[in-house]
Structure 1
Amino acid sequence: MCPCIRFSLLPDPSVSFCLPLSICPCVCLPAALRPAPGVSIRPSVGLSGFSPAAETVWGRPPASGSRPDLSLWAMIRGWGAGEVMTGWGGQQAVGGSRSGRAAHSHPCAQVPRRAAMGGPRHPSPLLLLAILLPLGGSWPEPPRGRLLFVTVVYRHGDRAPLDSYPTDPHQDKTLWPHGLGQLTQEGVQQQLELGRFLRARYGDFLSQEYRREELYVRSTDYDRTLQSAQANLAGLFPRSPRSPGWMPVPVHTVPATEDKLLKFRTQGCPQYQKLLEETVAGEEYQTALEGWRDFLVHLENLTGLSLAEGPLHRAWKVLDTLTCQRAHGLPLPDWATPEVLGSLAQVSALDVRAHVGPPRAQEKARLTGGVLLDAILTNFTQAQARGGPLRMVMYSAHDSTLLALLGALGLYDGHHPPYAACLGFEFWKHLGQLEQEEEEGNVTVSLFYRNDSSRPPLTLELLGCPSPCPLGRFRRLTAPVRPPPGGPPCRPPAEDATPPGVAVPLLAGAVGILGILSLGLGALLWSRGSTGPREGPV
């Protein structure tokens, strides 16, 4: 039997393969089972020593109190040529154990006994590293269990500038054949690549062809986000439209003026505007702004825009225009040096922090990103309660959407989400036993953030809840930033409230109208019955 360790390709643990740990004539890694680029490699649940309850951390010793029989760390540390490998706690993993029997009985994890003098030697640590690292690119993580549900929120792909500035040397709109603000061919390719990444990450968790019961896609009502969703889906489901039986994937949307989930209409929310005004008038913000005043005045003379006294969002628009032009090979003005672009990025970050950060960040989040966060949790709860096959919800949106969501999670770090940036929420059925007060069906939540296609995605963690975070604790930690059951409290300030003399007749009329609507809706539901098709998540 070839000495090797069995691994699984996530998210489908049924697909597994072995990594050889010694030089022998048998083949432990069939070519058909070698992972595609981007596929995660994780140890199989069946291998002794990789108990999720032990929380083994690959690449370093376990925490005190953890006593798995064997780990990759112990292998690399102990498997010199002809050495006897010893596990933690003094238990021999090779050459017999204290109990007198082999430490591992897994058929594909048998560890060879010490080689006889002159016989084949076990691989050195460097050789083992050379075998493992090209396959995964990083150390595999312990198994988390069974994947139940996924939500991804991503920014659209590369686009043309949204606007220009008075002294812009590239105001000719013919430079952008599809128009300002529209998706470019580069943006299409970015979304195709993101779709392929999602296919590699989730494998057979999603069917190879689109099934409406498994996937729901929603986009904002903008050309660039709708087209991004379609390009992403072409990467996720790469079947050619010319093949027999091919069907396009529907992308749902609502009019931009009615979208309160992905494109937050903060200008029409008096409560949010009041919170923002308090932040801008605060000492901390004013001190930071004063530090940039000379820079903004200088930039006014170069761009023709009012920046020092106007909203800071104008500075971001200048940065966005310059960034788009540079990305598409257009020469920038002499004054648009890397230092100037870096300063503009810092000014834009100050503006973003005012919108999503303190003071009163939780109240701001309940009116913006917390609305989407609440919808993500609600969709998972409803999918589990119905016991249906829905597995993924996909939102095609904007940088502002991701910024608000990251702000609600307390994870905004001052960096702007690039094109095709993707924030994922993965709900797992945990294999180990969670603490009693954290149990909610033994489900955990893991967050990943993909902001660089050349690197593995980042694992994000809520403050006070290391990943994977138990769902119950995740709900409690995010409760202050999610809106109450009645919806976001976007109401006018108290001093602008309707006078009592006017409120009574208005209330009576509203009650009457609601009564009529309720009767009509009840009759409609009665006539249709309760077995209609699913309209999809929010």
Structure 2
Amino acid sequence: MAGPGFRGHPAGLLLLLLLLPQALTEGPLVFVAVVRCPTPAARPFMSPRAALTWSPPQVFRHGDRAPLASYPTDPHKEAVSTLWPRGLGQLTGEGVRQQLELGRFLRSRYEDFLSPEYWREEVYIRSTDFDRTLESAQANLAGLFPEAAPGRSEATWRPIPVHTVPVTEDKLLRFPTRSCPRYQELLREAMEAAQYQTALEGWTDFLTHLENFTGLSLVGEPLRRAWKQAHGLPLPSWASPDVLQTLAQISALDIGAHVGPPGAAEKAQLSGGILLDAILANFSRVQHLGLPLNMVMYSAHDSTLLALQAALGLYDGHTPPYAACLGFEFRRRLGDPDDDAGNVTISLFYRNDSAGLPLTLSLPGCPAACPLGRFRQLTAPARPPAHGVPCHGFYEPATPAATVVPLLAGAVAVLAALSMGLGLLACTAGCLRDWRCPV
């Protein structure tokens, strides 16, 4: 993250905590929901001319968490264990509440498409391997499926499994890809660019003073969250609104280097475009194979959401708040039985405030209800090419076998029946574009 653009600069290590916790080591939860359309009925969120054929992949950030770190002059440093008894970086009670609320919102929005109870043949949940995302997934599921909520009687309570892979193997939800040399090369180029260096030099005095106040050059997250303003604790006197605004500007600059030009399209192919490609591939699998899979849920980080927004051309310079949610909705026009992509549209919504209605988003160059074929065409430059991604100087599969979600038993059974004993299908390292392997 620090990169060559920071070497020898007083802002070097300072930006590491500023940006990684809020934009790069953090992230959103990703929920991909696949829904079969039942008999048509009046649904307030649906167009009267279209039927929802697959509920949206929901990409959202985990709930509120404790700060990731403190700093030497933090006035609350000695009380960390009391303020956050579960530890730094862990999900808070407020974070649990946010995810419960988001799960209830999704239940309300897709009431007609989701079974009232969890069925393993219909739902698969994947999370990054962090406590806060695993717990956020569980809290969200408790809102989505009340049977999973705590407090149920022992006879009726039913836990819902959440699957994960090691952090070092997660190339679907974990961005930026630190194990990808090509991505790191593109990042260095962005940080060495004149525009980036000029902007950073303009903040040299500001960052130097900030280091004096905090006692270290690794500030970032403490400056943004460690004074616990959101938890009712006062900020230090030097953390004025102007200071926080400047920090937000520096954060936006650094996020832009990670997802924006130069090399924005190739960066997307190595990060958010991988997830976007998986979303489209899963839709194709469900439609063409008739899988009974109703929902695939991915629980991840704000960095995942940022990378996906950038791949869609929708990044607006702001870090997604806790429990922010980006959703895709696939619809087929009523009366059009064909599977042709021209009959299917994709709509996007963004829920970044639980107090308001979700915002309708439009892919640049397409209406709000974007035809699937046009959507694929517009996003093609940001998605990995068919022959893979050049992380190590040669093309390799965008997602290795370890990141591929295995077929559920119900899906396998359907495929076996349709294929005259095709049986259990094995996912290979190159199955990102193979309809048989949901990711």
The C-alpha deviation readout for 1:159-183, integer Å capped at 9, x for no partner, is: 0001112222222331211000000
Q: How does 1:218-367 map to 2 (within 5 A)?
A: 218-239=126-147, 241-242=152-153, 244-264=155-175, 266-306=177-217, 316-322=220-226, 325-367=228-270
Distance 1:186 1:216, change over 3 A: same
Which of 34, 40, 48 is 1:143 aligned to?
A: 48
Amino acid of the residue matched to residue 238 of structure 2?
Answer: W
Gaps of 5+ in 2: 1-36, 395-420, 428-436
The C-alpha deviation readout for 1:364-397, integer Å capped at 9, x for no partner, is: 1111111111111111111112101212221111
Counterpart CA distance in 2 for 1:450 and 1:13 is: 28
Distance 1:472 1:315, change over 3 A: farther
Amino acid of the residue matched to residue 376 of structure 1?
Answer: I
Counterpart CA distance in 1 for 2:291 and 2:321 is: 34
Distance 1:389 1:426, change over 3 A: same
Gaps of 5+ in 1: 1-10, 17-39, 43-140, 307-313, 494-528
Counterpart CA distance in 2 for 1:256 and 1:301 is: 35
Counterpart CA distance in 2 for 1:201 and 1:330 is: 36
Shift of 1:533: 8.1
Which of 288, 291, 305 is 1:388 aligned to?
A: 291
Normalising by structure 2, what TM-score?
0.77
Equivalent pairs, count: 363
Counterpart CA distance in 1 for 2:336 and 2:119 is: 33
Identity %: 65
> Contact between 2:183 and 2:270, CA under 8 Å: does it hold in 1?
yes
SS at match of 1:205: coil
Which of 200, 224, 232 is 2:108 aligned to?
A: 200
Answer yes or no: is 1:171 the counterpart of 2:174: no
Counterpart CA distance in 2 for 1:492 and 1:477 is: 26
Counterpart CA distance in 2 for 1:533 and 1:456 is: 41
Amino acid of the residue matched to residue 532 of structure 1?
Answer: L
Counterpart CA distance in 1 for 2:270 and 2:224 is: 26
Which of 111, 118, 127 is 1:210 aligned to?
A: 118
> Contact between 1:152 and 1:393, CA under 8 Å: does it hold in 2?
no
Amino acid of the residue matched to residue 164 of structure 2?
Answer: T
The C-alpha deviation readout for 1:6-27, integer Å capped at 9, x for no partner, is: xxxxx977555xxxxxxxxxxx
Answer yes or no: is 1:400 the counterpart of 2:303: yes
Which of 373, 384, 388 is 1:472 aligned to?
A: 373
Answer yes or no: is 1:429 the counterpart of 2:429: no
Distance 1:388 1:267, change over 3 A: closer
Counterpart CA distance in 2 for 1:283 and 1:479 is: 29
Shift of 1:266: 2.5
Counterpart CA distance in 1 for 2:39 and 2:243 is: 50
Counterpart CA distance in 2 for 1:222 and 1:484 is: 30
The C-alpha deviation readout for 1:431-482, integer Å capped at 9, x for no partner, is: 3879x9x951611111111100000011111110111111111111111111
- Tell me the residue number matched to 1:109: none
Q: How does 1:61-140 map to 2 (within 5 A)?
A: none
Amino acid of the residue matched to residue 298 of structure 2?
Answer: Y
Distance 1:492 1:167, change over 3 A: farther
> Contact between 2:69 and 2:226, CA under 8 Å: does it hold in 1?
no
The C-alpha deviation readout for 1:469-511, integer Å capped at 9, x for no partner, is: 1111111111111112233221249xxxxxxxxxxxxxxxxxx
Which of 335, 357, 368 is 1:456 aligned to?
A: 357
Counterpart CA distance in 2 for 1:296 and 1:461 is: 37
Shift of 1:315: 5.2
Normalising by structure 1, what TM-score?
0.63
Higher relative contact order (CA 8 A, sep 6+): 2
Counterpart CA distance in 2 for 1:484 and 1:198 is: 33
Distance 1:316 1:402, change over 3 A: farther
- Tell me the residue number matched to 1:184: 92
Moved more, 227-236 or 375-384: 375-384
- Tell me the residue number matched to 2:391: 490
Shift of 1:144: 4.7
> Contact between 1:219 and 1:251, CA under 8 Å: does it hold in 2?
yes
> Contact between 1:161 and 1:320, CA under 8 Å: does it hold in 2?
no
The C-alpha deviation readout for 1:72-114, integer Å capped at 9, x for no partner, is: xxxxxxxxxxxxxxxxxxxxxxxxxxxxxxxxxxxxxxxxxxx
SS at match of 2:51: strand
